[in-house]
Structure 1
Amino acid sequence: MISPSLLPIVLLTMSNVFMTAAWYGHLKFTDRPLWAVVLVSWGIAFFEYCLAVPANRYGHAVYSAAELKTMQEVITLVVFAVFSVVYLKEALTINHAVGFLLIAAGAFFVFKGPL
Protein backbone atom coordinates (compact mmCIF):
# COMPACT_ATOMS: atom_id res chain seq x y z
CA MET A 1 0.00 0.00 0.00
CA ILE A 2 1.16 3.53 -0.75
CA SER A 3 1.90 5.75 2.25
CA PRO A 4 -0.59 8.56 3.00
CA SER A 5 2.02 11.20 2.21
CA LEU A 6 2.94 9.63 -1.14
CA LEU A 7 -0.59 8.78 -2.36
CA PRO A 8 -1.57 12.36 -3.27
CA ILE A 9 1.70 12.81 -5.17
CA VAL A 10 1.05 9.66 -7.21
CA LEU A 11 -2.58 10.61 -7.88
CA LEU A 12 -1.68 14.20 -8.79
CA THR A 13 0.99 12.97 -11.19
CA MET A 14 -1.45 10.62 -12.88
CA SER A 15 -4.13 13.33 -13.05
CA ASN A 16 -1.65 15.75 -14.59
CA VAL A 17 -0.83 13.29 -17.36
CA PHE A 18 -4.53 13.28 -18.30
CA MET A 19 -4.81 17.05 -17.86
CA THR A 20 -1.83 17.74 -20.09
CA ALA A 21 -3.15 15.37 -22.75
CA ALA A 22 -6.57 17.04 -22.57
CA TRP A 23 -5.26 20.60 -22.75
CA TYR A 24 -2.35 20.23 -25.16
CA GLY A 25 -2.67 16.88 -26.95
CA HIS A 26 -4.92 18.32 -29.63
CA LEU A 27 -2.25 20.77 -30.80
CA LYS A 28 -1.00 18.13 -33.25
CA PHE A 29 -4.49 17.76 -34.72
CA THR A 30 -5.12 21.18 -36.22
CA ASP A 31 -7.03 19.57 -39.09
CA ARG A 32 -9.82 18.51 -36.70
CA PRO A 33 -12.78 20.80 -36.00
CA LEU A 34 -12.51 22.74 -32.76
CA TRP A 35 -15.80 21.35 -31.44
CA ALA A 36 -14.45 17.81 -31.82
CA VAL A 37 -11.22 18.47 -29.94
CA VAL A 38 -13.16 20.28 -27.21
CA LEU A 39 -15.38 17.21 -26.73
CA VAL A 40 -12.43 14.80 -26.76
CA SER A 41 -10.50 17.04 -24.35
CA TRP A 42 -13.51 17.23 -22.05
CA GLY A 43 -13.74 13.43 -22.05
CA ILE A 44 -10.06 13.09 -21.16
CA ALA A 45 -10.40 15.75 -18.47
CA PHE A 46 -13.08 13.64 -16.76
CA PHE A 47 -10.40 11.09 -15.87
CA GLU A 48 -8.15 13.89 -14.63
CA TYR A 49 -10.87 14.95 -12.20
CA CYS A 50 -11.41 11.34 -11.09
CA LEU A 51 -7.78 11.35 -9.92
CA ALA A 52 -7.34 14.97 -8.80
CA VAL A 53 -10.33 15.08 -6.46
CA PRO A 54 -9.25 12.01 -4.45
CA ALA A 55 -5.66 13.27 -4.48
CA ASN A 56 -6.77 16.46 -2.77
CA ARG A 57 -9.22 14.72 -0.46
CA TYR A 58 -6.63 12.20 0.76
CA GLY A 59 -3.80 14.71 0.60
CA HIS A 60 -5.54 17.24 2.83
CA ALA A 61 -5.22 14.79 5.71
CA VAL A 62 -1.44 15.13 5.38
CA TYR A 63 -0.79 18.47 3.65
CA SER A 64 -2.28 21.95 3.85
CA ALA A 65 -4.31 23.22 0.90
CA ALA A 66 -1.45 25.57 -0.01
CA GLU A 67 1.01 22.67 0.00
CA LEU A 68 -1.32 20.57 -2.18
CA LYS A 69 -1.74 23.39 -4.67
CA THR A 70 2.01 24.01 -4.78
CA MET A 71 2.64 20.30 -5.26
CA GLN A 72 0.11 20.22 -8.09
CA GLU A 73 1.74 23.18 -9.86
CA VAL A 74 5.23 21.69 -9.66
CA ILE A 75 3.96 18.32 -10.89
CA THR A 76 2.11 20.09 -13.72
CA LEU A 77 5.31 21.79 -14.85
CA VAL A 78 7.32 18.57 -14.79
CA VAL A 79 4.66 16.62 -16.69
CA PHE A 80 4.22 19.46 -19.17
CA ALA A 81 7.97 19.81 -19.75
CA VAL A 82 8.26 16.11 -20.56
CA PHE A 83 5.12 16.21 -22.73
CA SER A 84 6.26 19.26 -24.70
CA VAL A 85 9.66 17.73 -25.46
CA VAL A 86 8.54 14.14 -26.13
CA TYR A 87 5.12 14.61 -27.74
CA LEU A 88 5.14 18.15 -29.16
CA LYS A 89 8.85 18.00 -30.06
CA GLU A 90 9.45 21.47 -28.61
CA ALA A 91 12.78 22.44 -27.12
CA LEU A 92 13.13 23.67 -23.57
CA THR A 93 15.26 26.79 -23.35
CA ILE A 94 17.38 28.29 -20.62
CA ASN A 95 14.53 30.76 -19.97
CA HIS A 96 12.20 27.82 -19.28
CA ALA A 97 14.77 26.30 -16.91
CA VAL A 98 15.21 29.59 -15.02
CA GLY A 99 11.44 30.03 -14.75
CA PHE A 100 10.98 26.48 -13.49
CA LEU A 101 13.77 26.97 -10.95
CA LEU A 102 12.09 30.10 -9.63
CA ILE A 103 8.83 28.20 -9.23
CA ALA A 104 10.73 25.42 -7.45
CA ALA A 105 12.20 28.05 -5.13
CA GLY A 106 8.68 29.25 -4.35
CA ALA A 107 7.64 25.65 -3.63
CA PHE A 108 10.58 25.30 -1.27
CA PHE A 109 9.37 28.26 0.79
CA VAL A 110 5.79 26.95 0.89
CA PHE A 111 7.00 23.63 2.34
CA LYS A 112 9.83 25.05 4.47
CA GLY A 113 7.50 27.03 6.71
CA PRO A 114 8.13 30.36 8.40
CA LEU A 115 11.70 31.56 8.40
Structure 2
Amino acid sequence: MKTAIITILLLVVSNVFMTFAWYGHLKLSVSGISKNWPLFAVILFSWGIALLEYSFMIPANKMGFKDNGGPFTLFQLKIIQEVITLTVFTVIAMLCFQGQKFQWNHAASYLCLVAAVVFAFLPNK
Protein backbone atom coordinates (compact mmCIF):
# COMPACT_ATOMS: atom_id res chain seq x y z
CA MET A 1 0.00 0.00 0.00
CA LYS A 2 2.88 2.37 0.80
CA THR A 3 4.38 1.87 -2.67
CA ALA A 4 1.00 2.63 -4.28
CA ILE A 5 0.67 5.91 -2.35
CA ILE A 6 4.25 6.98 -3.12
CA THR A 7 3.72 6.11 -6.79
CA ILE A 8 0.55 8.20 -6.95
CA LEU A 9 2.17 11.14 -5.12
CA LEU A 10 5.13 11.07 -7.53
CA LEU A 11 2.69 11.02 -10.44
CA VAL A 12 0.87 14.06 -9.03
CA VAL A 13 4.12 16.02 -8.65
CA SER A 14 5.18 14.93 -12.14
CA ASN A 15 1.91 16.10 -13.60
CA VAL A 16 2.16 19.51 -11.96
CA PHE A 17 5.47 20.00 -13.76
CA MET A 18 4.04 18.53 -16.96
CA THR A 19 1.09 20.92 -16.93
CA PHE A 20 3.38 23.91 -16.47
CA ALA A 21 5.75 22.59 -19.16
CA TRP A 22 2.92 22.18 -21.66
CA TYR A 23 0.74 25.18 -20.78
CA GLY A 24 2.81 27.50 -18.59
CA HIS A 25 4.25 29.32 -21.59
CA LEU A 26 0.69 30.26 -22.59
CA LYS A 27 0.19 31.98 -19.25
CA LEU A 28 3.58 33.69 -19.56
CA SER A 29 2.59 34.92 -23.02
CA VAL A 30 -0.79 36.22 -21.84
CA SER A 31 0.90 38.07 -18.99
CA GLY A 32 3.40 39.58 -21.45
CA ILE A 33 6.51 37.85 -20.09
CA SER A 34 7.20 35.57 -23.06
CA LYS A 35 5.02 37.23 -25.69
CA ASN A 36 7.98 38.00 -27.97
CA TRP A 37 10.01 34.85 -27.29
CA PRO A 38 10.91 32.88 -30.41
CA LEU A 39 9.44 29.40 -30.62
CA PHE A 40 12.79 27.69 -29.88
CA ALA A 41 13.05 29.65 -26.60
CA VAL A 42 9.55 28.54 -25.59
CA ILE A 43 10.47 24.95 -26.44
CA LEU A 44 13.70 25.10 -24.41
CA PHE A 45 11.84 26.68 -21.49
CA SER A 46 9.23 23.92 -21.60
CA TRP A 47 11.87 21.19 -21.92
CA GLY A 48 13.58 22.53 -18.82
CA ILE A 49 10.37 22.10 -16.87
CA ALA A 50 9.71 18.74 -18.52
CA LEU A 51 13.06 17.50 -17.20
CA LEU A 52 11.63 17.96 -13.71
CA GLU A 53 8.50 16.13 -14.80
CA TYR A 54 10.54 13.14 -15.95
CA SER A 55 12.54 13.21 -12.71
CA PHE A 56 9.32 12.24 -10.92
CA MET A 57 7.49 10.29 -13.64
CA ILE A 58 10.23 7.74 -14.32
CA PRO A 59 10.69 6.74 -10.65
CA ALA A 60 6.90 6.60 -10.20
CA ASN A 61 6.50 4.21 -13.11
CA LYS A 62 9.53 2.15 -12.13
CA MET A 63 8.41 1.85 -8.52
CA GLY A 64 4.74 1.31 -9.29
CA PHE A 65 5.13 -1.29 -12.06
CA LYS A 66 4.12 -4.81 -11.02
CA ASP A 67 7.11 -6.45 -12.73
CA ASN A 68 9.41 -4.30 -10.56
CA GLY A 69 7.61 -5.29 -7.36
CA GLY A 70 5.03 -2.50 -7.50
CA PRO A 71 1.27 -2.84 -7.15
CA PHE A 72 0.15 -1.77 -10.66
CA THR A 73 0.07 -3.30 -14.10
CA LEU A 74 1.30 -1.18 -17.00
CA PHE A 75 -2.26 -0.42 -18.09
CA GLN A 76 -3.31 0.53 -14.56
CA LEU A 77 -0.35 2.91 -14.28
CA LYS A 78 -1.35 4.60 -17.52
CA ILE A 79 -5.01 4.97 -16.53
CA ILE A 80 -4.02 6.38 -13.12
CA GLN A 81 -1.62 8.79 -14.81
CA GLU A 82 -4.30 10.05 -17.22
CA VAL A 83 -6.81 10.70 -14.44
CA ILE A 84 -4.15 12.52 -12.41
CA THR A 85 -3.17 14.52 -15.50
CA LEU A 86 -6.70 15.77 -16.06
CA THR A 87 -7.28 16.46 -12.38
CA VAL A 88 -4.06 18.46 -12.03
CA PHE A 89 -4.73 20.22 -15.34
CA THR A 90 -8.24 21.21 -14.24
CA VAL A 91 -7.04 22.66 -10.95
CA ILE A 92 -4.19 24.60 -12.58
CA ALA A 93 -6.38 25.79 -15.47
CA MET A 94 -9.05 27.05 -13.09
CA LEU A 95 -6.49 28.84 -10.91
CA CYS A 96 -4.14 30.24 -13.56
CA PHE A 97 -6.42 30.74 -16.56
CA GLN A 98 -9.38 32.58 -15.07
CA GLY A 99 -11.29 32.78 -18.37
CA GLN A 100 -11.60 29.00 -18.67
CA LYS A 101 -14.93 27.56 -17.57
CA PHE A 102 -15.49 23.99 -16.43
CA GLN A 103 -18.66 22.88 -18.26
CA TRP A 104 -21.03 19.93 -18.09
CA ASN A 105 -19.36 18.11 -20.99
CA HIS A 106 -16.01 18.32 -19.18
CA ALA A 107 -17.60 16.76 -16.10
CA ALA A 108 -19.17 14.03 -18.26
CA SER A 109 -15.82 13.23 -19.88
CA TYR A 110 -14.16 13.04 -16.46
CA LEU A 111 -16.84 10.61 -15.29
CA CYS A 112 -15.98 8.45 -18.30
CA LEU A 113 -12.36 8.47 -17.12
CA VAL A 114 -13.44 7.40 -13.64
CA ALA A 115 -15.29 4.54 -15.32
CA ALA A 116 -12.07 3.72 -17.19
CA VAL A 117 -10.25 3.44 -13.86
CA VAL A 118 -12.94 1.13 -12.51
CA PHE A 119 -12.72 -1.09 -15.60
CA ALA A 120 -8.90 -1.10 -15.49
CA PHE A 121 -8.92 -2.43 -11.93
CA LEU A 122 -11.57 -5.11 -12.42
CA PRO A 123 -10.09 -8.57 -11.97
CA ASN A 124 -9.47 -10.52 -15.15
CA LYS A 125 -11.08 -13.93 -15.36
TM-score scaled by structure 1? 0.93
Q: Which runs of 5+ in 1 are unaligned?
A: none
Aligned position for 1:113: 123
Structure 2 counterpart of 1:84, one-letter code: A
Superimposed CA distance per residue, residues 1-48 of structure 1 (whole angstroms, 9 cap, x where no aligned partner) = x81121100000000000000000111233132221111100000010
Bigger radius of gyration:
2
The separation in 1 between residues aligned to 2:96 and 2:43, in whole angstroms, is 19
The separation in 2 between residues aligned to 1:84 and 1:105, in whole angstroms, is 23
Q: Which runs of 5+ in 2 are unaligned?
A: 30-34
Q: How does 1:1-115 map to 2 (within 5 A)?
A: 3-30=2-29, 31=35, 32-60=37-65, 61-89=70-98, 90-114=100-124
* Deviation, structure 1 residue 112: 2.1
4+ runs deviating over 3 angstroms: none
Secondary structure of 2:2's partner? coil
Secondary structure of 1:29's partner? helix
Q: Percent identity?
A: 44
Aligned position for 2:32: none
**CA RMSD, 1 decimal:** 1.4
TM-score scaled by structure 2? 0.86
The separation in 2 between residues aligned to 1:36 and 1:4, in whole angstroms, is 38
